[in-house]
Structure 1
Amino acid sequence: MEITVNDQSREIPEAYSVQQLLSGLFPDTSTGIAVAINQSVLARSEWERHLLQPNDRITLIKATQGG
């Protein structure tokens, strides 16, 4: 199925969770990441349970260090 992540189309399998998506995109860490789906912020506690749907628009924001 097709979703959009930060304005880029991606194909993912059916029954794919937010946690699975993040593990694929950020294999080294999942800390410092905020997730919004269709403009609604999703709590970290929901990442494993929330299954993505066709045409979902996901916004990922990764915190960085610096000044």
Structure 2
Amino acid sequence: MIRLTINGEEQEFPDATPLIEYVSSLGVNPKMIAIAYNGEVLRRDEWEEITLSEGDAVEVVRAVGGG
């Protein structure tokens, strides 16, 4: 098991997880979110290069329409 901080909450995952797999599991349109990984905002083309591991912090921000 590894521990990650996702949106400020500690969560456990069975093992290292590709970021793109985690994003897919959210069931949201990837074009409508932004991701910060260990404090750095990632470009979408970087998502496939990242594997989440022990101690990583991920913030997922969803775009919300309004007016």
Q: Deviations over 1:4-35 (max 9, x none)?
A: 1111111223231111111112x142121111
**Percentage of matched positions with identical amino acids:** 33
Q: Secondary structure at the match of 1:35?
A: strand
**TM-score, L = length of structure 2:** 0.84
Please report the RMSD computed on the Cα atoms of aligned residues, expressed in angstroms. 1.3
- Which structure carries more helix by proportion? 2
Aligned length: 66
Unaligned runs of 5+ in 1: none
Kindly state the Cα deviation for residue 43 of structure 1 after the two structures are TM-superposed. Answer: 1.2
- What is the aligned partner in structure 2 of residue 30 from structure 1? 30
Does 2:63 align with 1:63?
yes
Structure 2 gap ranges (5+):
none
CA distance in 2, matches of 1:21, 1:10: 12
